[in-house]
Every structure is written in structure tokens, then in C-alpha cells.
Amino acid sequence: MYIYRVREKIWVLRPILTELILVPGYKMNRWILIFAALAAVAAANNSGDKIIMCYFGSWAVYRPPGGKYDISYIQPELCTHLIYSFVGINTEGNVVILDAWQDLPDNWGKDGFGRFNKLRELSPTTKTLIAIGGWNEGSAKYSDVVANPTIRARFVKNVVEFCLKYKFDGFDVDWEYPNQRGGKPADVQNYISLLKELRTEFDKHGLILSAAVAAAEPSASLSYDIPAMSKYLHYINIMTYDFHGAWEKVTGHNAPLYPRNGESGNDLKLNVDASVRYWLDSGCPREKLILGVPFYGRAFTLSDSNQNGLGAPIKGPGTAGPYTREGGMLGYNEICESFKQGGWTIVRQEEHRVPYAVKGDQWVGYDDVTSLIEKTNYIKSMNLGGGMLWSIETDDFNGNCGEKYPLLKTLNAELRGGVPLEPTRPTDAPNPSNKPTAPTTQPPVTSPPNGICKKAGDFVRDEKDCNVFYLCEDGGKSHRMTCPSGLVFNTNTNTCDYTAAGCN
């Protein structure tokens, strides 16, 4: 990768150097030219050679006014890589388009894939990828596909064809997680086989292969052979967030940089620094490790508003925001707009190096410009490959609290040596739609009603609410999931759909 970047930068410098040679009376031998070029490359590499990997949650196009986010709003020059989320998988090894109306141009669709990839016309150096998976996809289908060499090979072929057909530069594997959530121990090595086979075919077409991975040791140690997977991935997007949330019994920060006094056991591993050091110590190359930062916070409802620090008892998730409409999660845009209304007390946790805020019985731990500067300094001090963000549509993209994209521009200023100028933006806006919003919450492990789970990996629809379904795990436990508003869980296809038997 480094050699490629050096070659690319020398090529960019070539017209300048040629111009110098052609200046009348200007004498410079080729060694001086080479040293000048290498010095310029070194300066560029030190100041602006970090990756900024931007995930885009495509369901944000269905959010209410103020939070609705169209593809045309993306400023691609602020990202070295843009990742469209998500597509799915089925047990036959096919890539499944989850929202054909939004993603494709057929039948008067919105052509999301095409419009997303067209952003490269505004920023030719930006690469576009398509992500498969996500939290709501679970693990069972991936486990089945990678366990069968024939189906796995079919999936690899389908992925390559998908990327070429829709003109993506690469593919991001967001399997959450091998050997967990309905998976099995064999997933760990089968995952390596998948990555190896994908990389072999990707190299034939110049495609990029990346993966989003669990960050903390307690989870990552169950899922990954880190030295082996590092051989095949161009980038490893470590999800250093969701360390704490309303699935627990007390307040905890979404993405602390370091541990704090009073933590013990596994809690000492639930922070950015511990996670990064685990991955590096386990064999992940520094230049491939891309540090994840959240453009959202985790919110709680306190049991007692007078007990409102870290580790305070909670009743449950915080109140849903007006745009994301998901209890326990607030986009940064929702947080900063709420602050403008007043009444919040903001506390900077000096050990964690991140802020949290309290108003009455509402508590939220989040990242802001100050904490992102600390994290970008950490990326540079650890010589990591760059930063990844989830996700671009919850930054303050409208500039309601100040400058547009304050978080994303902070990453650019700190990792790439400056903030690119904002070009002229398209003025077209998406048509109003009553189509649903897809949730991204990490729900707690719960017991489904009436003991309906028979075996791990099963999907079971709630008996009283067709919008709710459960992913069964060992021991009769399950993860409660919710279909996007307006959809119901179809037991024939094990997917969220517009209609299902008995749930019209």
C-alpha cells in the first residue's frame, strides 16, 4: 500500500518537476529531482496520509425533516472511502438487496447505488464500497454459508459480480459476529477461508476488501484469528464504540478512550486503548487498523436524577431523538440541538477523555470535537492507518449548531492536514416518503415470551407484535430485534417485509 501511495504522489508531482526541467536556464540533475520528490512524498505522508472511512446508513433517507439525509448531501472529499450500508445475504450464498426501491433505478427507484458511486465525480480519489451485514443481520446465515465450500465459493463469485455490476470499488464484511449470536466455533477458521477466497478474486479486479470487527477483547477473542485475517484484508475497521449502553444496568460511556479508576475485570478492557492494544498485540498491522469513532451517543434514563455520574443506576434506555427515533441512541446532531434548548450539564470525564451530559433523568455519553481531537492524536501517536466513523448522517450536516459537519471536518483537519473547501452542492432533495427507518440499536439479551426459542440460530416472530422478532441463542436466550416502522417480520423468508401471514 505504501509503495502504491509513493508512486501515486510522485506521479502527481511529475508535471511540476517536468516544468522545472523545462524552465530556461534552470539546471537540476535527476538525483536532486528524485530527492525533491521523495521529500515532498514524505511531507505528504506525515501530514495527510491517513484513511477516513465514512459509513453511510442508507435508511437515513427516510428520517423526518431535519434528520433526513439524502446521498446528494454527502461531501465525498471529506472521506477517503465511503461505505454504503447495507446489503444482506441468504443461505444460498446470494447477495440480497434489502431496499430495492432506494438502491436501484428499476421501477422508478431512487438509484442509491448509482448516485452514491457518482459522488466520485466530485472527488475522484474517494473510493466507494458496499457493506454487507450489520447488527440486525445476525450471524446464523453467514455461519451456514461459510461452512459449505460450494456455497462459500458461490458467495465469493456473487460478491465480485455485484461490485462490478454496480461499480463499487470494494466490499466491506460486517458479519456481527463469527462464533457468536447464532454462529458456531468453526466460524473462526471458516471466516478466514472466506476472506482468503474473496481477496484472491478481488486482486484480479483491483477491488478493496475491508471488514468491520468487534473491538474489545472479550468479544474479539471469540470471533477472530487476527494474524490470519490480517493477511487478506486491506483495512480492518475496529468498532471502538458501544462499549456501554442501556442493555446494562448502570450508565457507562459509549466510547471511552482510556479506562477510569474504579473499573475492574472486563470493564478495564472496554475502552479504545485496551482494544487497540489487544488487536496490535494479537498481530494486526498498525497501518491496516482503522479506529472507529461514533457520531452518536448512548443514552440512558436514570433511576434517580440525583445519582447521575458514571455507574449510576438506570431504568432503561434514554428518550428517543426526533430523527433517529431509537431509544438509547442519539445522533450527534440530535445531541447538539438538544443542548441549544438548554438545561443540560456537560461533564468531561478526565480519565475516559470524553464528555457526558445530564438533564433531569436523561444521561448521554457521546463524542464531540474536543474528544475527537484526542482520538485523532491517539491514531497518530499509535501510527494507525486512520479513522472510521459510524455514521456520516448523524453529524451536524445541516449546521444547526454551527459549521456543517463539525465532527467529520475535525477528522480531516487532524488526520489529513486541513479541511477541504466545500464545493457547490446539488440542490435536488429526495421526494417525501412514508417508507420506514431501519434501526441500528444493539438490543439487550432477553428471554423471549413463552420459551419459544428451540435452538440457537432460529428467528422467531413475537406472538403479539409482528414488528418484533427474536434471534435465538444458546440456553434459551435471544436478542430482541425490531423491523423498520411499517414492516413486519415474514416467517417464510426470515426477513422484514411489507406483508406477512396474519400481519397485514
- List active site positions: 176
d(CA 333, CA 106): 33
From 102, 163, 95, select the one nearest 128 (Cα to Cα). 163
| Largest separation between any pair of C-alpha atoms in the chain | 89
Residue 91: how many CB atoms within 10 A of its CB?
A: 14
DSSP per residue, 55-85: EEEGGGGGSPTTT---GGG--GGG-SEEEEE
d(CA 88, CA 498): 17
From 242, 214, 255, select the one nearest 328 (Cα to Cα). 242
Angle subtended at Cα 224 by Cα 81 and Cα 373, rounded to the nearest 5 degrees: 40
d(CA 276, CA 338): 32
Q: What residue spans of 235-368 are helical by DSSP H?
A: 272-281, 332-340
Contacts of 9-18 spanning 24+ positions with Cβ under 8 A: 9/40, 9/41, 9/44, 9/45, 10/37, 10/41, 13/37, 13/40, 13/41
Helix (H) or strand (E) holding 129: strand 127-133
From 189, 194, 257, 249, select the one nearest 224 (Cα to Cα). 189
CB 64 within 8 A of CB 57: no
d(CA 32, CA 387): 35
Phi-psi region of 342 (alpha: psi -120 to 50; beta: other; left: phi over 0): left
d(CA 54, CA 123): 14
From 458, 294, 461, select the one nearest 364 (Cα to Cα). 294
3-state secondary structure of 294: strand
Which CA distances in Å does 129 have to 57, 63, 298, 499? Answer: 13, 23, 27, 31
CB 312 within 8 A of CB 363: yes
Distance of CA 62 to the CA centre of its chain: 19
Question: Hey, which residues does 387 pair with through a beta bridge?
Answer: 52, 291
Bridge pairing between strands 289-294 and 51-57: unpaired
Q: What's the sign of the alpha-carbon dihedral 28, 29, 31, 37?
A: positive
